[in-house]
Structure 1
Amino acid sequence: NDFVVSNLIERFSATDPDGFLLYLSDHGEAVFDAPRAEVLGRNEAAPTGPMYTIPFILWNSPKWQARQPRDFSQALARPFSSSSLIHTWADLAGLDFAERDRSRSLVSADFTPRPLLIGDPQQPQNLIDFSLIRPKTAVDSELAQQEPRKGGAQPL
């Protein structure tokens, strides 16, 4: 998957575009970092951090960055659900529509953190807040204080 995504960025970059490439995985799985050996793959009845932590990569072309410079460093530590992707994508693309909600755009100054409820959606009474199981690491602090990268991919 890393090869495919890097190849897409490389090919897009070679066209000298005025745009961005956004990659977002559709789901995560507990494989090598599962807290318990019996929880592997995906089991919504027993959610783990790796099941809900997914890659989100935004690559900005130099032309796009020059036309609308933004500092995405604040977005790196924000709690985000892929269900809000349409609002982030519209914000990046400069699109507007009646249902657009800037408070759900990861890259908006109007972003409002919301609880990330995970688990089996067929059992809403058993959903838990992702922040309760998400492992906190030194990387979280480092990412929140990192200077924005000059061109290239920005992991969000």
Structure 2
Amino acid sequence: MRTKSDAPPGDPAVDGAGRRVCVIVSRFNSAVTERLLEGAARTLVEGGVAAEHLDTVFVPGAWELPLAAREAAARGYDAIVALGCVIRGETAHFDHVSRGAADGLARVQLDTGVPVGFGVLTPDNLEQALARAGGELGNAGVDAARAALEMAALRGRLNA
């Protein structure tokens, strides 16, 4: 059931004014994650997050995103954006890293109540990754940033 303060479906409120946001970026597959970061940072600033309230930290890979997110949540950020790229290879390593990152980030969000925008790509190859990092299929960094801000706003409304 919608109330007057709810945004209509497809038109979510993305308001970062006054919010502190931490963007955590995997350095592995940096040709992809740097593009995700560009999209996320632009979206957050355009959404009203002040430059002094926007922090970016880098971690070695997607596996390390959950620990960094947990630390960011403990430091009082209103929202977190996690960006990474795990490209499928010939071994089970892909499955372990991508599942660990996804499960870990979900756990951080649920355990702390701090929204975590999920911008971890899991493509079969670099071409697919680039298509989703500012290419013809959009930018998952933008989507993750919008989701984080939308959920921070929702959390604020639900806790008011």
**Structure 1 length-normalised TM:** 0.25
TM-score, structure 2 length as denominator?
A: 0.25
Which one has a larger percent helix, Structure 1 or Structure 2? 2
Q: Which has the higher contact order (CA 8 A, sep 6+)?
A: 2
Which entry has the higher C-alpha Rg, 1 or 2?
1
